[in-house]
Amino acid sequence: MKQDYAHYLSKTAKELQPSGIRKFFDLAASMKDVISLGVGEPDFITPWNIREAAILSLEQGETAYTANPGLLELRQEITNYLGTRFGVEYDPKNQIIVTIGASQAIDLAFRAILNQGDEVLIVEPAFVSYAPLVSIAGGTPVALSTSPENGFKLTPEQLENAITEKTKAILLCFPNNPTGTSLNKEELTEIARIVEKHDLIVVSDEIYAELTYDEVFTSFSALEGMYDRTILINGFSKGFAMTGWRLGLLAAPAPFVEVMLKIFQYTTMCAPTMLQHGAIEALRNSFHDVETMKRSYRRRRNFVVQTLNKIGLDCHIPGGAFYVFPSIKATGLTSEQFAEELLMQERVAVVPGHVFGESGEGYVRCSYATSMAQLQEALKRMQRFLESKGVYGENTVEILK
């Protein structure tokens, strides 16, 4: 029998757009000799002591469920971490949930706070999952576009102008994916003033906190008056090179956590037990590894930004994460055309900026979480591609050597 499946599916689910990042990732994976600057994950393997702790846990037969919000021992380590690193105090007993990646923490936050039609401001360009997760939770995502002229920073005026009577919350992510932009304490404090004035909730995605290069990272919840209205999200994926472990965390005022925990109990039960043991080890003994990886990213960031500017692509220096977001306007191509033609002609995968929101058009995201040798080769190929489009930078011959 031929079924009309569209008839059975939820309207909201049907209307979701597939991730634009995946499309290029899948295309690149089907081709040979591709250098991928497309995917946002560390090129490092999780430090050995963390892996060993998870293996040991399995060997010892720790295969049962943990408490719903995670092992108390891990929640304690998380609160120690948040307290010593960012100066924010949480109670491990009722203010923390260990989630399946930061991804699930974001989902839980929106499900817990949104009623049908509530608007959530999303500072764009933005990580691709925010808007769909707002929609799934019944809210309405509202793009708040930042501009390249001020390095994709959100300004208080912009925020003030975007707020309506339906605005319930704002999603902040600094350092940002895809621009790498980070805001310093003064800039965040100005945002906090507007947040307080309009009684907004802040979902603060701090997944790149450990990968902030030039300034000290400030957690939004540490700002005066923000603790009570912030759902802080972080995770192990980026800083500890643990993307595949799928471990994240959220910290928030107890009434928020109580509601999020109900949803989490029914959908997930708990994060995998043996992996939680790995996470304890990460927080106890692995910050020197994080520091080493961070130094390496910083070196690569400097090299990539300098070289992109030399070969003819305007690129601001991002304060964090592991992405650069150069303008490709000099080529006259759209970002989709640029990414497609670069992949076909030179076998380098980047992500077209428009997948992160309209304000990303005219830009591409390149991840520099790959080896220096690969980056050098990718930039050489990009230079050849640019020259084929009539874009000539300075010192082009030197770079190609």
For the CB of residue 356, give the shortest distance to ligand PLP in the complex, in Å: 10
Phi, psi at residue 68, to the nearest 5°? Answer: -50, -50
CB of 205 to ligand PLP, least distance (A): 5
Residue type, 11: K
Nearer to ligand PLP, 146 or 177 (CB): 177
248-251 and 230-235: which strand pairing?
Answer: antiparallel
Minimum distance between the CB of residue 397 and ligand PLP, rounded to whole angstroms?
36
> Which residue in the shown chain puts its C-beta closest to ligand PLP?
101
The DSSP output letter for 363 is B
Q: Is 230 helix (H, G, I), strand (E, B) or coil?
A: strand
- d(Cα 316, Cα 318) in Å, to the nearest integer? 6
Closer residue to ligand PLP in complex, CB, 246/316: 246
Residue number with CB closer to ligand PLP (278 or 312): 278
Residues sharing a CB contact under 8 Å with residue 286, sequence separation 6 or more, in sequence order: 47, 49, 50, 240
Closer of 145 and 243 to ligand PLP (Cβ): 243
Shortest approach of ligand PLP to residue 175 CB, angstroms?
8
Closest contact distance (angstroms) between CB of 393 and ligand PLP is 29
Query: Nearer to ligand PLP by C-beta: 248 or 312?
Result: 248
The angle at the Cα of 269, spanning 252 to 39, to the nearest 5 degrees, equals 70
How near is the Cβ of 81 to ligand PLP at its closest, in Å?
Answer: 15
Q: Supply the DSSP string of 56-97, one letter for each residue.
A: HHHHTT--S---TT--HHHHHHHHHHHHHHH-----TTTSEE
In the bound state with ligand PLP, the residue whose beta carbon lies nearer, of 248 and 272, is: 248
Residue 211 CB, nearest distance to ligand PLP (Å)?
Answer: 11
By CB under 6 A, name the binding residues for ligand PLP.
Answer: 40, 101-103, 127, 173, 177, 205, 207, 235, 237, 243, 248
Q: What is the DSSP letter of 31?
A: S
Which stretches within 222-286 are classed as H helix? 254-267, 273-285
d(CA 168, CA 145): 18
**Using CA atoms, how far apart are residues 200 and 187, in angstroms rounded to an integer?**
17
Closest alpha carbon to 380 in 401, 364, 365: 401
Output phi, psi for 224, to 5 deg. -55, 130
Which of 260, 311 has the CB closer to ligand PLP?
Answer: 260
**Cα 372 to Cα 374: distance, rounded to the nearest angstrom:** 5
Pick between residue 297 and residue 385 the one whose CB is nearest to ligand PLP. 297
Q: Are strands 351-352 and 364-367 parallel, antiparallel or unpaired?
A: antiparallel
Question: In whole angstroms, how far apart are CA 147 and each of 9, 36, 150, 161, 294?
Answer: 37, 26, 6, 15, 27
Q: For the CB of residue 172, give the shortest distance to ligand PLP in the complex, in Å.
A: 10
Of the two residues 312 and 360, which places its CB atom closer to ligand PLP in the complex?
360
- Of 162, 178, 179, nearest to 170 by C-alpha is 162
Q: Closest separation between CB of residue 60 and ligand PLP, Å? A: 26
Asked if 322 contacts 37 with a C-beta cutoff of 8 angstroms, the reply is: no
CB 386, min distance to ligand PLP, A: 27
Main-chain phi, psi angles of 304, to 5 degrees:
-65, -45
Nearer to ligand PLP, 279 or 280 (CB): 279
